[in-house]
Chains A and B, each alone.
Chain A
Amino acid sequence: MLERYKIYSVFDLLLEYYNEGRININREIHKQRTTYHDPCNYGRKSLKTFGHGYFEEGRIITKACAPNFVDMEPNREGNYCCGAGGGAWAMPFKTERVFYGRIKARQIQETGAELVIAPCHNCRDQIKKSLNQEYQLGIEVKYLWELVADSLVLPVKN
């Protein structure tokens, strides 16, 4: 099955477009300081399960769109979970989820970033809709593909 079909994560496809020069990016749109959240499932856990962690792909794309980039500490396989993984975003344990997120909130704050890129639905929701308010981060949060879509110079078609 895996030989017959190619399975794309969002990273694979965005990077394919980028490397093949199929997307034209305006680097002037996202000038604010920007950081990147490593999702556990595509990073640390993918590394362990499949032998490849998606650490660099998301950074290449993010830096291409938002050149004023700074990493959180720790990052990549050492990164902290947003606090909403494994179904926790939907679980009836909100108090615990917000408490869990305190480390993520602090990590973001320490970068001084105004824009946080999250390549996963869950992480984005936790950071944007919960941590941002709870910890008054005052940040903007975008999906990785939202960042690309907002940076696109669209071709003129008829």
Chain B
Amino acid sequence: MIYEFRVIDLAEEFGVHRNTIRNWIKSGAIPAKEGPGRRYIMDWSDYQRLCEKFGKTPRMPRTGGMQKPAQEQGPPPIKLKAVEGNKFYPDATWADICLTCGTCASACPIAGVDGLDPRKIVRMAALGLTDELVNTDWIWKCTMCAKCEEACPMDVKIVQLIRKIRSMRPRDQVPGPIHKGVVNCLERGNNLGIPKDDFLFLLEDLGNELAEECCPGFSTPVDVRGARILVTVNSKEPFAEPDDMKWWWKIFYATGESWTISSENWEGVNWGLFSGDDEALKTIVGRIVDNMKRLNCEGLLLPE
């Protein structure tokens, strides 16, 4: 069976922009083909899957077509570990005090997508479904924004719980580049592995540019001992958007600030926070403290 739609209708149905629908079609996230009259067609089962993903009820009922199999295989039975061996039990504020009211789910902007739902996460934690939680991608699609927590009448520490679950995912199964970034940072001093020489060359070059553009006499201060402020850098800037570093430099120029950048371990973004890696987090912070001591600075500027 075929589901036919116009982009504008589907956009309305899912609450996104028409462009988003077009991009999803382009990227294959929506497996649809262009049909006649600026309409698209996709398999009804794909449409149903899409509805399931975003927690929507299909707009039109399925008629005819294939019969539902008489005996649907349910998921295998789950063993609950409510108290014994439950890794989330020691701190009652992570899950145990939850009233199951669902306020958190109403507050969450991504609730319903792929079955994600903060209340469900909290309840699963209370019931000891540790493995299921550690293996789900929900905890990585959640942005740890704490909107749910702010709404919760019981002050359940939902974000701490989610971070704890993240920390239990085997490191080689952390999605995306954030764990790789942590390893890079530990091994090479910054999340994107930018070599020291390249970095220093870039700083000098950009400093000269800024001097020419609007700040006569400017040069980038690297490893200046006794500077008032040590400035850390988000490695995406030297990597991809180097000119963006000049805004702060221009402000320092205007204020006559005494500041410096360290030639090593200058990374200011600590992905251990989001990947749930406390050891790495501490090591990376420790290096910044070492820089503060080495360069004898009074203050530290974070990248944001």
Interface residues of A in 111-158 (CB under 8 A from B): 119-121, 133-136, 143, 145-146, 148-150, 152, 154-155, 157-158
B69 within 8 A of partner (CB): no
CB distance from B148 to the nearest CB of A (A): 11
- Which of B159, B250, B255 is in CB contact (< 8 Å) with A22? B255
Given A40-B145, A83-B109, A96-B110, answer yes or no on A102-B15 (Cβ-Cβ < 8 Å): yes
- Which of B150, B254, B269 is in CB contact (< 8 Å) with A44? B150
CB distance from B100 to the nearest CB of A (A): 22
Report A-chain residues with C-beta under 8 Å of the C-beta of B217.
157-158
Please encode chain B, from 212 to 244, with 1 for each CB lying within 8 Å of some chain A CB and 0 for all others.
001111000000000001000010100000001
Please encode chain A, from 1 to 30, with 1 for each CB lying within 8 Å of some chain B CB and 0 for all others.
100011111100110010000111000000
CB distance from A24 to the nearest CB of B (A): 7
Is B300 a contact of A40 with CB atoms below 8 Å?
A: no
Chain B residue, CB-CB nearest to A9: B302
CA distance A81 to B118 in the complex (A): 15
Report B-chain residues with C-beta under 8 Å of the C-beta of A50.
none
Beyond the given pairs A45-B159, A154-B214, 12 more chain A to chain B contacts, judged by CB atoms under 8 angstroms and listed by A's residue number, are: A5-B297, A5-B298, A7-B299, A10-B302, A45-B146, A48-B149, A81-B145, A87-B140, A96-B141, A100-B141, A135-B17, A158-B216
Is B302 a contact of A8 with CB atoms below 8 Å?
A: yes
Chain B residue, CB-CB nearest to A149: B247
B4 within 8 A of partner (CB): no
Q: Please, could you name 30 A-B residue pairs with CB atoms under 8 Å apart, sorted by A?
A: A13-B229, A14-B251, A17-B255, A23-B254, A39-B304, A40-B144, A44-B150, A81-B143, A83-B143, A86-B145, A87-B271, A88-B140, A90-B181, A91-B175, A92-B175, A92-B176, A95-B29, A98-B16, A99-B15, A99-B54, A99-B113, A100-B141, A102-B20, A134-B19, A134-B20, A145-B247, A149-B247, A149-B250, A154-B254, A158-B216
Is B254 a contact of A152 with CB atoms below 8 Å?
A: yes
Closest 10 A-B residue pairs measured CB to CB? A81-B145, A86-B144, A85-B143, A149-B247, A87-B274, A6-B299, A91-B176, A135-B17, A22-B255, A86-B143
- Listed in ascending order, the chain B residues whose CB lies under 8 Å from chain A are 14-17, 19-20, 23-24, 27, 29, 54, 109-110, 113-114, 137, 140-147, 149-150, 159, 175-178, 181, 214-217, 229, 234, 236, 244, 246-248, 250-251, 253-256, 269, 271, 274-275, 289, 292, 297-304
The number of inter-chain residue pairs (CB within 8 angstroms) is 176
- Which of B54, B178, B234, B299 is in CB contact (< 8 Å) with A121? B234
Report B-chain residues with C-beta under 8 Å of the C-beta of A7.
299-300, 302
- Which of A77, A91, A149 is in CB contact (< 8 Å) with B248? A149
CB distance from B237 to the nearest CB of A (A): 8
Given A5-B297, A22-B255, A105-B17, answer yes or no on A119-B143 (Cβ-Cβ < 8 Å): no
Report A-chain residues with C-beta under 8 Å of the C-beta of B269.
121
Is A93 a contact of B140 with CB atoms below 8 Å?
A: yes
Report A-chain residues with C-beta under 8 Å of the C-beta of B181.
90
CA distance A1 to B236 in the complex (A): 28
Chain A residue, CB-CB nearest to B249: A149
Is A44 a contact of B141 with CB atoms below 8 Å?
A: no
A72 within 8 A of partner (CB): no
A36 within 8 A of partner (CB): no
Is B251 a contact of A121 with CB atoms below 8 Å?
A: no
Report B-chain residues with C-beta under 8 Å of the C-beta of A102.
15-17, 20, 109
- Which of B143, B144, B214, B253 is in CB contact (< 8 Å) with A100? B143
Is A87 a contact of B178 with CB atoms below 8 Å?
A: yes
Is A77 a contact of B150 with CB atoms below 8 Å?
A: yes
Report A-chain residues with C-beta under 8 Å of the C-beta of B23.
98, 134
- Which of A8, A24, A92, A134 is in CB contact (< 8 Å) with B17? A134
Report A-chain residues with C-beta under 8 Å of the C-beta of B159.
45
